[in-house]
Structure 1
Amino acid sequence: MTRFLIILSIIYIISAIYGFQGFKTLFKSSWVHLVYGLMFLAALANFIIRVLNYTPGDGVRGQIANAGGIFFAFLLLGLVFGIFMLLEDIVRLFVFGYNKIAGLSETQNKFFPSRRKFISGIAMGIAALPFGALLYGMYKGKYNYKVLKYQLEFADLPDAFDGYQITQISDVHSGSFDNRKKVAYGIDLINEQKSDVILFTGDMVNDKTKEMEPWSDLFASLEAKDGKFSILGNHDYGDYTQWESEEAKAQNLVDLKNLQKEMGFDLLLDTHRYLKKDGQKIALIGVENWGRGGFKKAGDLEKAKTGIDKEDFKILMSHDPSHWEDVVINDDYHFHLTLSGHTHGMQFGVEIPGWVKWSPVKWRYKYWAGIYEELGQFINVNRGFGFIGYPGRVGIWPEISVITLKKKGLT
């Protein structure tokens, strides 16, 4: 860790110094230069202090997460600025060499200062975009909750469930929260939807049950006529932190299950329930985490669907959308609607409804955000209520999904 920190710090310092060449071309005031230097130094010092005082097993959250976010914003600013200056210097070197060989006079080369100022201006404009976006994502974007509404039609939906409304939330990651007022606002938004049922699709915590305890009263206040149900996500098992013993890790999972019960969630562990209305029913199935690419494969779909009739209308809760792609859509039981999360939309991307939907996470997950349909079956991949790692969101906002089921052909 120390070696990595030293290398990263050296890269940071070099980029800051090299980028300063362009900065001072645009701004001549020594006070502005001093502010530039102090801001870069403060971001570096804060990051180093947080890393050196970090206790393994605490998870990347709170002050160290914020310090890391600010550090990488400044690192990116310096790198973009520095790359432009480096390219300009390379061009300058080649032109200088050519002029020497060709015997051109210095008076023929007076355009360099103005060109450097022009390039520095372009560099600052480009560098400011990701820098500003990362800082905005940390201080505004991470709690910029969006209610996304979908209406899905099914020919075999029981008539009584025409218009039935589901609110889905996912990936709370309570260990990352740092603003009770904002989280409470998100909870109020969920309750304002007045859905028939609330479904939570995993990752209540980053690592440990204690992360959820300060927020449990807020999530306990969630209400829906037909109740609220939950499943486990990959982070809920405590696999990404250090434990004093395997017994402590196992107890943490027991504590999390108990806490979910205390908050009023019916935790579905490879099992199912029936939602009933006017003498008709739909099956709600919940599996433990099943993920591709090194993620825990604890989910047992066969066990979960035992006792369900093939003809039942089925809603499946499965945290990782790769489970839907690899297993669920080819299962002979035909799961009408699957609800997942996990990807967070990488907490970074560009979405303009009807025009653009892009995030780097699309290179890892084919189904990464929103509604998809395959073989007459739907999945909604929720973008997540919380955040982890980078303490913010840029372009991919925290989501509350509201899905209304409609009977196809029923007026």
Structure 2
Amino acid sequence: MVFRVFLLSLFLFIVELYAFQALKTLIKLKWVLTAYQILSAIALVFIVYSFTQFDRSIGQTKQTMFTMGMLLVIYVPKIILCLIMLGEDIFRIGSGSARYFINNENFEFLNSRRKFVSQIGLGLAAIPFASLIYGITVGKYNYKVIKQRIYFPDLPEEFDGFKITQISDVHSGSFDNPEKISYAIDLVNEQDSDMILFTGDIVNTHAKEMYPWIETFNKIKEHKYGKYAVLGNHDYGEYVTWATEADKEANFKAIKSLYGQIGFQLMLNEHTYIEKGKDKLALIGVENWGHNFKKAGDINKAAAGVNQEDFKILMSHDPSHWDYEIKNHEKHFHLTLAGHTHGMQFGIEIPGYFKWSLAQYIYAQWAGLYENLGRYVYVNRGFGFHAYPGRVGIMPEITVIELKKGDNVA
């Protein structure tokens, strides 16, 4: 821990040196530069100190989220600025070396820093700075209703036009604005879907995080064909150190109970049939299965007794489950609903044209709809937020999926 804090401090110190060089190139007022150095030193000491105070027996708190937000807001722009200034230094050293070998005479090896480079660096750094501030103040509650129509040639006739609302990754321990959460619940109810599915992560770690929000989430209206849920990786309480195994188990039991307290039927490696008129479809719910996270999900147990010809909807929190086990499974799961990635809560998205996030370098399926041989997975971008207390570009999502009978057209 001490060594990691030392490396973080050293890295941030180097970033600060380069950021100061850029400022010094543009600003000549000594008092402004002194004030900048003092404020930067205070911020650096606060961030390093806060990380040293992290208590693994408690886990994420409002304080740790504030610190993470502060770290990103201050240092992501400065890192960009640092890279610009480092690039200039590489050019200055290369230019000086060339002049030395060509001229072989006395001269100033390093040219002075160029003002316009610092101006470009500060201009580019201002973009993530403003974006991260926006993400914290506005973006984290900027809920989007995303509607997706999916066609299946073997969809039972009675389910043509059947609507499913999906929410995922609530992370109630991060919430700090009851009015915004109530607004989001109203949006959920406005969709007037046939069924609502919740694909896990009701809390960050502790069951008590959800207690202030139970009444609000109980306002999610009854849906004609039910309210179902599965567990996410955070619901197992595995990201903190527990005093005893009994404490951990009691918390896990309480978390499972939360889903029932807000009116959702929790599915633990099991299935049920949804009947509509003369037709039915199989709804399957597995516990968390992640390639890099807890593997409690058992698809074979959950789908035992489900017939090959049944139309199947699977709830599985982590989309890596679809990638590694589901998309080529012999039982042919038509549609899988997942979450987990949050789209990294940071990216660029122009609906229908372009989307990018660091999440795509970790997960093959990270936001939206994906298909393989007529089998689909939809990855919800998440209802809440975690670690970074904001969202930039990848907004919180309420998904409405309409099932349609017909050719495979996304």
Answer yes or no: same fold by TM over 0.5.
yes
Q: CA deviation at 1:82?
A: 3.2
Partner of 1:184: 182
Between 391-400 and 54-63, the greater mean CA deviation after superposition: 54-63
Partner of 1:88: 88
**Contact residue 5 and residue 52 of structure 2 kept, 8 A:** no
Given the alignment of the two structures, is residue 298 of structure 1 paired with residue 296 of structure 2, yes or no? yes
Partner of 1:232: 231
Aligned residue for 1:330, secondary structure, equals: coil
Query: Is the alpha carbon distance of 1:23 and 1:251 closer, same or farther for their aligned partners in structure 2, counting shifts above 3 Å?
Result: same
What is the distance in 1 between the residues matched to 2:188 and 2:311? 25
What is the distance in 2 between the residues matched to 1:372 and 1:87? 39
What is the distance in 2 between the residues matched to 1:312 and 1:92? 68
Partner of 2:219: 221
Q: CA RMSD in A?
A: 2.4
2:327 to 322, 326, 329: 329
AA at the equivalent of 2:146: L
Partner of 2:253: 254
Q: CA deviation at 1:149?
A: 0.4
What is the distance in 2 between the residues matched to 1:88 and 1:333? 58
Query: Is the alpha carbon distance of 1:248 and 1:27 closer, same or farther for their aligned partners in structure 2, counting shifts above 3 Å?
Result: same
AA at the equivalent of 2:385: F
AA at the equivalent of 1:36: Y
Between 63-72 and 333-342, the greater mean CA deviation after superposition: 63-72
**Contact residue 61 and residue 389 of structure 1 kept, 8 A:** no
**Contact residue 165 and residue 398 of structure 2 kept, 8 A:** yes
User: What is the 5 A alignment of 1:374-385?
Assistant: 374-385=372-383
AA at the equivalent of 2:334: H
Deviations 1:340-382 (A, max 9, x none): 1112112222211232122222222211111111121111011
What is the distance in 2 between the residues matched to 1:112 and 1:326? 54
Aligned residue for 1:125, secondary structure, equals: helix
Q: CA deviation at 1:99?
A: 6.1
Partner of 1:160: 158
**Contact residue 271 and residue 285 of structure 1 kept, 8 A:** yes
AA at the equivalent of 1:80: I
User: What is the 5 A alignment of 1:365-404?
Assistant: 365-404=363-402
Q: CA deviation at 1:193?
A: 1.0
Query: Is the alpha carbon distance of 1:332 and 1:117 closer, same or farther for their aligned partners in structure 2, counting shifts above 3 Å?
Result: same
**Contact residue 43 and residue 67 of structure 1 kept, 8 A:** no
Query: Is the alpha carbon distance of 1:163 and 1:86 closer, same or farther for their aligned partners in structure 2, counting shifts above 3 Å?
Result: closer
What is the distance in 2 between the residues matched to 1:325 and 1:346? 18
User: What is the 5 A alignment of 1:129-168?
Assistant: 129-168=127-166
Q: CA deviation at 1:31?
A: 4.8
Between 47-56 and 196-205, the greater mean CA deviation after superposition: 47-56
Identical-residue share of aligned pairs (%): 50
Partner of 2:29: 29
Gap runs ≥5 in structure 1: none
**Contact residue 61 and residue 391 of structure 1 kept, 8 A:** no
Partner of 1:193: 191
What is the distance in 2 between the residues matched to 1:407 and 1:201? 24
Q: TM-score, normalised by structure 1?
A: 0.90
Deviations 1:144-201 (A, max 9, x none): 2111101111222222222111000111112222222222222221111111111001
Partner of 2:10: 10
What is the distance in 1 between the residues matched to 2:320 and 2:146? 22
What is the distance in 2 between the residues matched to 1:134 and 1:346? 13
What is the distance in 2 between the residues matched to 1:191 and 1:30? 58
Partner of 2:264: 265
Deviations 1:201-257 (A, max 9, x none): 111112111111121222221122322110011111111111111111111111111
Partner of 2:210: 212
Query: Is the alpha carbon distance of 1:119 and 1:197 closer, same or farther for their aligned partners in structure 2, counting shifts above 3 Å?
Result: same
Partner of 1:170: 168
Partner of 1:73: 73
Q: CA deviation at 1:278?
A: 2.3
* Matched length: 404
What is the distance in 2 between the residues matched to 1:105 and 1:10? 35
Aligned residue for 2:19, secondary structure, equals: helix
What is the distance in 1 between the residues matched to 2:382 and 2:230? 14
Partner of 1:40: 40
Between 133-142 and 160-169, the greater mean CA deviation after superposition: 133-142
**Contact residue 203 and residue 234 of structure 1 kept, 8 A:** yes
**Contact residue 99 and residue 105 of structure 1 kept, 8 A:** no
Gap runs ≥5 in structure 2: none
Deviations 1:286-317 (A, max 9, x none): 01111213x22111212212232222221111
**Contact residue 271 and residue 303 of structure 1 kept, 8 A:** yes
Q: CA deviation at 1:64?
A: 1.4
**Contact residue 231 and residue 287 of structure 2 kept, 8 A:** yes
Q: CA deviation at 1:104?
A: 7.8
Q: CA deviation at 1:270?
A: 1.0
What is the distance in 2 between the residues matched to 1:340 and 1:112? 55
